[in-house]
Structure 1
C-alpha cells in the first residue's frame, strides 16, 4: 500500500499538494481544539475517573491524550514548514533533487497524518466510552438515591 501512495504522490502537482496541506492544517487545528475540550472533560470528571475503579487504564487514556497533543503539534509544525517550502515546486527552476525530496516529504506526511488520525480516532472513542460509562453510572446512582 505504501508503494501505491508513493507512486500517487509522484503524480501530484503543486496545487494538489498545496490543497492537501491546507486540509491537513485545518483538520489538525480542529483536533488541537478538541484536545482542549478533552482536557476540560477530564478535569470535569477527575473525581469520577479516580473513583471509577480502573484508574490505571484511565490514566493511560489521559497520557495518550497528552501524547496525542504533542504529536498533533509536531505535525502542525511539519505541515507549516512543508507548506512554506512549496516554492521549490513552483519557482520555475529545475531543481530535480529538491523537488523529488519535497514530493517524498509530502508522501511521508500522508503516511504520518493517516496513522495519526487512525490513532486519534481510537483515542477519542476510548475517552467517550469512559465518559459514557461515568455518566451512565451517575444516572443509575441518582435513580437509586431517589428510591
Structure 2
C-alpha cells in the first residue's frame, strides 16, 4: 500500500495578517533601499571633487551605473508591493472568491521569490560598490586645506 504524498504550498499556512506583514516588511525594506541609494549616489558624487585616477573614476562610474539600474527595478518592486497590499482585501472581505484568493496567494509566492532575488542582487551591488569606495578612500590622500 502506497501512501500519497501531499504537497503543501507555503502560502497555505499563512493567514491574511501574516501575508500583510510580509508585504509591509517588503515595502519598508524597499523604501529604506530608496533612501540608501540616494545616500550612496551622494557619496559617489563627493568623490568627484577629489583627485582620483581614471581607473578609480571608472570604478565609481560603474558603481553609480549599477545603482541607477537597480533604482529602475526598485520603483517597479515598490509598485508591485503596493498593488499587492491593496489586493489583500480579497482575502479578508468575507466573500468566498476561491479562485481570486488562490490567485492572490500565488502572486504572493511569486513576489516572495522575486523580492528575495531583488534583495540579494541589491546587496551584491552594494557590497561590491562599497568595496570599491573603501579601496579608493584608502589610496586617496586627504585634501589639505592649507594648500
TM bucket by the smaller chain? Answer: 0.7 to 0.9
Residue pair 2:90, 2:97 contacting (<8 A) in 1 also: yes
Name 1:67's counterpart in structure 2: 69
Name 1:115's counterpart in structure 2: 117
Give the Cα separation in 2 of the matches to 1:98 and 1:119: 31
Name 2:18's counterpart in structure 1: 16
Distance 1:49 1:78, change over 3 A: farther
Name 1:103's counterpart in structure 2: 105
1:79-90 maps to which residues of 2 (within 5 A)? 79-90=81-92
Give the Cα separation in 1 of the matches to 2:117 and 2:15: 23
Q: 1:11: Cα distance to partner?
A: 2.0
Name 1:25's counterpart in structure 2: 27
Name 2:4's counterpart in structure 1: none
Give the Cα separation in 1 of the matches to 2:92 and 2:64: 43
Give the Cα separation in 2 of the matches to 1:57 and 1:80: 34
In structure 2, the gaps of 5 or more residues are 1-7
- Between structure 1 and structure 2, the one with the greater Rg is 2
Q: 1:138: Cα distance to partner?
A: 1.4
Size of the alignment, in residue pairs?
A: 136
Q: 2:48 aligns with which of 41, 46, 49?
A: 46
Task: For residues 22-56 of structure 1, give each alpha carbon's deviation from its aligned partner in whole angstroms, at most 9, with x where no partner exists.
Answer: 11111110000001001101111135596241555
Residue pair 1:88, 1:95 contacting (<8 A) in 2 also: yes
Q: 1:72: Cα distance to partner?
A: 1.1
Give the Cα separation in 1 of the matches to 2:101 and 2:32: 30
Q: 1:8: Cα distance to partner?
A: 0.6
Residue pair 1:88, 1:99 contacting (<8 A) in 2 also: yes
Q: 2:78 aligns with which of 61, 76, 95?
A: 76
